[in-house]
């Protein structure tokens, strides 16, 4: 899943509107999305174990 996030970020930087955003904003947004995906995955794993 982390590979997918990195691939989409790279694609966005090269081709999308992320190319027009400042690098600091792009990195911060990527970190927020990665954290959200990590929290979601952890909650799903925990919910399926119980």
Q: For 7-26, b where at least 16 C-beta lie within 10 A, e where not — what string?
A: eebeebeeeeebeeeeeeeb
The overall pTM is greater than 0.85:
no
Cα separation of the two ends of the chain:
23
Average pLDDT over the chain reads 85
Q: For residue range 17-39, what is the model confidence (pLDDT) as tens digits?
A: 767 888 898 889 889 989 999 99
């Amino acid at each position: 899943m982390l590979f997918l996030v990195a691939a989409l970020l790279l694609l966005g930087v090269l081709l999308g509107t992320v190319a027009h955003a400042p690098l600091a904003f792009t990195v911060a947004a990527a970190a927020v999305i990665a954290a959200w995906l990590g929290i979601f995955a952890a909650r799903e794993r925990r919910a399926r174990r119980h």
